[in-house]
Amino acid sequence: MFKNFGKSTKDLFKKKFDFENTSKIVNKTQNGITIETTSNVTQSFKGTINTKYVNRDFGEVEVEVSTNAADANKANLKLKKLAAGLVATVGVASSDKDIKSTSGKPVTSADVEYSQEFFAAQTVVKTDCDKSKVDVYGSVGYDGLSVGGQVVYANNAISETNVGIEYTQKDLTVSAFTEKNVEVVNMSFFQRLQKETAVGASIKYPIASGDRTLTVGVEHQLDFDTVVKAKAELPTGVVSTAVEHKLFNPKLQFTVAAEFNVKNTPLVANKFGVGLTFGDF
């Protein structure tokens, strides 16, 4: 799917690099319900409760409620058993960044994804009855090579189109795709060198300015309980590190992340965050 082109590299550069101080409690029940309660100390003790119910016969239901007025309260119903290769999701949210509603009306959405061996397509519709946005993604592929594109329809006109290509093997993914109506070109690769180690790099190239940005990163699992990550951006000189460690008595996942600019002296952390996850993570 075009929407997921470069996803492995994006996850390498994003996951675990959390510079907010958060505490999360995860509880999973035997009947398929997962409840996540998150407290964010950095943002004035913001709290979020996410409840998900998974049913093998039809799909899943997810409801998220936040104490922060800037965050959306939302509910989604995902249906996975409609037909082979077909997944449909309907939802409602108090707000959505894609719609940017000024009316205060809730935003309803419908997401339909269909995939077969050599073809995948997805249509996402969002509306608050005043403003609407439609995203259409499609891709075709064979023997690890996929080509695809995106069309965005908003304000009664096609507002954006993008294209891309991706080559995937067991331990290697190479991608090239555009963003922002073909104004930005992304080229990336992700490779798993061995079971414990993965590396990746990406170049973001805004065509108009020509200000290229290179990001390189690595993730290594030291042992069963500990994962370390690092990434660096050039020419900005921003370096980020993250360490995740798991304890099993008590059951706790502990993450520490920090960001530095190696061009600055003395070298101090520009961002720093600690994450604690208790329970059934």
Residue 139: name the closest of 6, 268, 48 by CA: 6
CATH at residue 224: 2.40.160.10
pLDDT band with cut points at 50, 70 and 90 for residue 102: low
State the average pLDDT over residues 17-31. 92
Cα-Cα-Cα-Cα dihedral sign, residues 204, 42, 20, 238:
positive
Q: How many domains does the chain have?
A: 1
pLDDT band with cut points at 50, 70 and 90 for residue 227: very high
Does 249 score more than 90 pLDDT? no
Could you list the residue range(s) of the whole structural domain that residue 73 is in? 2-279
Residue 218's H or E segment, with its range, is strand 213-221
- Highest mean pLDDT among 11-15, 19-23, 100-104, 268-272 belongs to 11-15
State the average pLDDT over residues 51-71. 91
Mean pLDDT of the chain: 93
- Give the pLDDT confidence of 143-184 residue by residue, as tens digits: 999 999 999 999 889 999 999 999 999 999 999 999 999 999
pLDDT band with cut points at 50, 70 and 90 for residue 44: low
Rounded Cα distance, 115 and 145, in Å: 16
